[in-house]
Chain A
């Protein structure tokens, strides 16, 4: 099973929007609506930001949104703020009780 593919970096200025992609296959991202996104600040544990493609846990700002088209999922951060600077990881259920993570994207707020 191969890791999901994310761009290594993304950036945007405060107030702008940025979208991070996560590409898999029809056996994982494209086959199930169980894509999640996690935010990780340096030295901290990951935090769930999006689950089941486009659902936000309680307490996550609505500036964060998720979507999926075919084998590619996306996380969009609107109205970028300084505290959004972090690493972001996508994850997908891949069948047979298996989970895949993406390689991570470092988001820089310029």
Chain B
């Protein structure tokens, strides 16, 4: 069965960096687009970034553009999110999610990880 498992979260000071990983299994990883979606405590879902199946397309939510970088390693079935210049408002549970499609055109996120908490605080 499809599994997505996030790791790398924790507490970090404002201005510092953190890298999240998402290990995937149970599907042909290299064929699908992938996303990061976050949820601040008690708030709704917020899309963060997308990467296409072949790494040719990457796109970001406006508030993280220039600070976050999404990447993937199709040989390791792993998705990453490099987060720099972190701010308190980046505090959230971060989910990785699989797209039903392969490109930057989102066709629905059909599998989600369990989420990982990132807390930005001094």
Identify which of B62, B105, B113 gathers the most chain A CB atoms within 10 Å of its CB: B105
Contact with B along A31-66 (1 / 0, CB 8 A): 000101010100001111001100001000000000
Contact with B along A78-96 (1 / 0, CB 8 A): 0000000001010101001
Is there an interface contact between A89 and B45, defined as CB atoms closer than 8 Å? yes
Chain A interface: which size bin?
20 to 34
Identify which of B57, B107, B111 gathers the most chain A CB atoms within 10 Å of its CB: B107
Asked if A104 is at the interface of the complex by the 8 Å CB criterion, the answer is yes
Q: Which B residues lie within 8 Å of A1 (CB)?
A: 62
Contact of B107 among A34, A45, A46, A104 (CB under 8 A): A34
Asked if B30 is at the interface of the complex by the 8 Å CB criterion, the answer is no
Looking at the assembled complex, report how far the CB atom of B42 sits from the nearest CB atom of chain A, in whole angstroms: 11
Contact of A45 among B35, B46, B57, B115 (CB under 8 A): B115
Interface residues of B (CB under 8 A from A): 35, 37, 44-47, 50, 57-59, 61-62, 95, 97, 100, 104-115
- Which 5 pairs show the lowest CB-CB distances between chains A and B? A51-B108, A97-B104, A97-B59, A104-B44, A99-B47
> Apart from A46-B112, A104-B44, what 19 extra A-B contacts exist at CB < 8 Å?
A34-B107, A36-B106, A45-B112, A45-B113, A45-B115, A47-B112, A48-B110, A48-B111, A87-B44, A91-B108, A91-B109, A97-B57, A97-B59, A97-B105, A98-B47, A98-B59, A101-B45, A102-B44, A104-B45
